[in-house]
Amino acid sequence: MSKDDDPEAQKAMQLAQKALEYEEAIYFYAEASHRILSLIARKKILPILKRNATEYLERAEYLKRELPRLQADIIAKRSPQQLQFESAEFTALKAIDMEERGEIDQAADCYEKSVELCLNLMKLPNIDPQLRQKLRGLAAQALERAEYLKLKIETRNKAEETEAMQLSALLPSVPTGDLSLSDLHLDDRAPAARGNAATGSPQIHPRNQHEGLTKEELAVLAATSRINGRRYVPFLEQDLKEQFNFSLPFSDKHGKLALTEKQVKRLKDWARPSDFFSEPTLIKKIDNRHFRLFFRGFTCHCCAV
């Protein structure tokens, strides 16, 4: 099967065509490469398309290495307002991609984040009229999709809660009295665990680790994933593919995380590396070269002091 015959392959190729800006390109090149390799593994497209995946991956790796220099060139040529608009636009593009994959919870959050970025930018004085018009259009589209997905999520949550209540009604009531050893009898075991009458051995049915969760387990997760009005779902496999390629630092809409009483005694505050380093750098691989550069800079700094 060729890429022209398979809609999933065409969608994977279209992802790479969305790569217009550097940060967006890193995300979409990596996502397109992953989808092509996945389709090849499932034998839905020809293996010859692996070279496209390799090419996209090489482009993403190159942009990751050169991103600081390329961003510096962009900042020198573009205004801060234009950069913030591109960040909002990229967030909306990412939401569209998530919605197409069926990840409606994450997509709704990204749509709302895009609307928030647009509204904050429109509040700035002396904003360009053409840019304001683009922001208004982007915010309207993102808000429409966010409201649609929120309604869809609310309907799904109500169905899950109804199912959880129905399953909970099937569970035995919790004993209210104190339990003692005299109250426990071997005959009180469940019928499924009593075993064969001829052999007397219990019938154990081990569950395959590759099987999905049962309805009862899903009901427990649905009922216990909501804490203080917020939904904390378990980590999924697609969470490992999350790309953090935003121009602006992440800001939690629920506010900053407060220190506990024990932490207040030893810590001052939570801070980003950029708050106390001029140019923070994450070293993925430690080798002799990095150590030499570090100690050389450390020695020069001590001599200057």
> pLDDT tens digits, residue range 236-249?
666 666 666 555 66
Interior/surface letters 17-27, b for 16+ CB within 10 angstroms, e for the rest: ebbebbbbbbb
Q: What pLDDT, on the 0 to 100 scale, is given for residue 196?
A: 47
Mean pLDDT value across the chain? 72
Q: What is the band of 72 on the pLDDT scale with cuts at 50, 70, 90?
A: confident
Q: What pLDDT, on the 0 to 100 scale, is given for residue 182?
A: 47
Q: What pLDDT, on the 0 to 100 scale, is given for residue 188?
A: 43
Selected residue with higher pLDDT from 148 and 125:
148
Selected residue with higher pLDDT from 305 and 207:
207
| In the predicted structure, residue 193 carries a pLDDT above the cut 50 | no
| In the predicted structure, residue 187 carries a pLDDT above the cut 90 | no
- For 253, the token pair is 């809409």
Q: What pLDDT, on the 0 to 100 scale, is given for residue 79?
A: 77
Contact 80, 117 (CB under 8 A): no
96 assigned to some structural domain? yes
Q: What pLDDT, on the 0 to 100 scale, is given for residue 304?
A: 41
Selected residue with higher pLDDT from 300 and 284:
284
Q: What pLDDT, on the 0 to 100 scale, is given for residue 125?
A: 83
Q: State the distance between the two ends of the chain, measured CA to CA, in whole angstroms.
A: 67
Selected residue with higher pLDDT from 227 and 204:
227
- Residues 46 and 49: their CA atoms lie apart, in Å, by 6
**CATH at residue 112:** 1.20.58.80
275 assigned to some structural domain? no
- Mean pLDDT over 73-89 rounds to 78
254 assigned to some structural domain? no
184 assigned to some structural domain? no
Domain count, the chain: 1
Q: What pLDDT, on the 0 to 100 scale, is given for residue 214?
A: 76
202 assigned to some structural domain? no
Query: 161 lies in which domain range?
Result: 79-170+216-226
- Residues 69 and 83: their CA atoms lie apart, in Å, by 16
**Among the listed ranges 31-40, 59-68, 163-172, 245-254, which one has the minimum average pLDDT value?**
245-254
What stretch of H or E contains 123? none
In degrees rounded to 5, what are phi and psi of residue 275? -75, -25
Contact 148, 172 (CB under 8 A): no
Q: What is the band of 142 on the pLDDT scale with cuts at 50, 70, 90?
A: very high
- Mean pLDDT over 181-204 rounds to 45
Q: Please state, for a pLDDT cut of 70, what percent of the chain lies above it.
A: 59
Selected residue with higher pLDDT from 251 and 161:
161
